[in-house]
Amino acid sequence: MKIKIKTALISVHNKNNLKEILSILKKYKVNIISSGGTYKKINELGFECKEISEYTGSPEILDGRVKTLHPKIHAGILNKIDNKNHFKQMKNLNYGNIDLIIVNFYPFEKSINSDKHQSEIIENIDIGGPAMVRAAAKNFEYKTIITSLDQYNELKSELKNNKGKTTKEFRQKLSKDAFLETAYYDAVISKYFTNLSYEKFPSKEIIYGKKMEVLRYGENPHQQAAIYSNGDSVFKQISGKKLSFNNYSDMFAAIKITNTLPKNIGCVVLKHLNPCGVSINKNKIISLRSAIKCDPISAFGGIISCNFKINDKIAKELSKIFLEIVIGKSFTKKAIKILKKKKNLRIIETKNLNYENKLSIKSNFNNFLLQEPDTLLLDKKNFKVVSKRKPGKNMLENLIFAFNICRFVKSNAIVISQNFSTIGIGSGQTSRLDSCDIAVNKMRKFRLNKKYEDIYAASDAFFPFTDGVEKLAIAGVNAIIQPSGSIRDKEVVKLANKLDLILVFSKTRHFNH
């Protein structure tokens, strides 16, 4: 059923592009009702409009908190125009139909990201707007609800194509959009109050986000995918092909690791969610080269993330290998020019990245798991030397570096490092012993410097038997860091002392499943 638009109620916080809507409504002789700032703006633009207080016969009260919350407004929105009983009641009360409702809300989300006082933030919780939107969306059989500036052109086309009327299909589509808008708005408010209470896991959890883009496909071509965000833009893509589902997954994993490294000196090479090379060095070129040297074969077609500004020298170094993505804190103009020569290479800037990550989510079978992200700062107090031989300051820092990288490697994880660079990584094995084999084999395969002094190993969990420790020791490792907790911890300590190894226990475990 097509519905003729005769009366429209407009109440918007964002008043951009109002003129184009008012012009089309004037063309079809639509009466307009409005209030507050919207009413003033409509008059300033030279269009006729009746103020809501005049329409309802009731003044705006409570500093504007109550203006559209009136039975004449909501009856005008909620009545069924072909219902005889509704028609009779409306006529007896001298209430008129409201056919079109154009509303956008107070910017609550923007206000909580500002420095406003809590009392000001609370005032930005819109009450009347969402109430009208929900009413109109419920009654889409007869009413048209516009909740976004993005819908203005759709409305104009609909009215032009149907001579001032709207179709049911159009109204139902807008109804869906309207309920999404109110649900998102309420979710943001709910999360704000949950955060105020410091309650990490409330009795009901609402996950919300705005669609950034539909992706070409998911992990595989037969899977559909999209990316959503519930915060400000986290990065800037300077150049290259569109990012895929797998690109995003890898990129986020790489950035997480880079963010834990000392500022302005860290490089991460990542492939399929696993780091295949990490290094920190004050000489940024050495940092980059060392990260790549850990596993140059895996680096091919991977991601490189740097927590510093990328200049032309670093860009030239990066251009020597095939990469999917290069991530930097920022880029010089010369660096961008060099990297752009590889047309498909994605260049990502993280200068404005918001590193806040309150909860991580995993979902399956209509259930989802929430947990705090593993962002624990690794402090020396978190570790205990349990071997007779003790590490010096530099050695302990090297061990903690390896242990930090280990928590970003898929379990079971083993990381072998030397001089603040990884030289062998074993990931994702069902046996910790197999991870040891892979890490050792990578080290032996790619290390140009064959010296075996000062080689350290980290494990993301305790060694359940002594065989893993023994295998690492035979490979040349002379210090190991691991969480405690095994019933055979004493046996591991005994073996370490027998082999003259340094052994450090962590008080915390860091699985990455």
Quote the distance between the C-alpha of residue 128 and its chain's center.
30
Q: Which of 308, 304, 310 is nearest to 265 (CA)?
A: 308
CA distance to 108, 177, 194, 210, 270, per residue, from 187 (Å) = 11, 15, 10, 12, 35
Cis peptide before 412 (omega within 30 of 0): yes
CA distance to 174, 292, 358, per residue, from 22 (Å) = 19, 60, 43
Q: Which of 429, 457, 432 is nearest to 443 (CA)?
A: 457
Per-residue tokens: 331: 């880029």
Q: Which of 47, 1, 30, 28 is nearest to 160 (CA)?
A: 28
284 is catalytic: no
Beta strand pairing call for 421-426 and 414-418: antiparallel
Catalytic residue chosen out of the listed positions 6, 13, 116, 138: 138
Determine the Cα–Cα distance for residues 256 and 356; give it in Å rounded to an integer: 11
* Terminal Cα-to-Cα distance of the chain (whole angstroms): 54
Determine the Cα–Cα distance for residues 455 and 401; give it in Å rounded to an integer: 12
**Residue spans of beta strands (DSSP E) within 366-441:** 367-371, 383-385, 414-418, 421-426
Residue pair 102/9 in contact (Cβ under 8 Å)? The answer is: yes
Query: Hey, how many other C-beta atoms are within 10 angstroms of the C-beta on 2?
Result: 13
Residue pair 399/382 in contact (Cβ under 8 Å)? The answer is: no
Determine the Cα–Cα distance for residues 186 and 174; give it in Å rounded to an integer: 18
Catalytic residue chosen out of the listed positions 40, 50, 116, 272: 272
Q: Which of 482, 487, 480, 483 is nearest to 502 (CA)?
A: 480
Determine the Cα–Cα distance for residues 342 and 285; give it in Å rounded to an integer: 20
138 is catalytic: yes
Catalytic residues: 138, 272
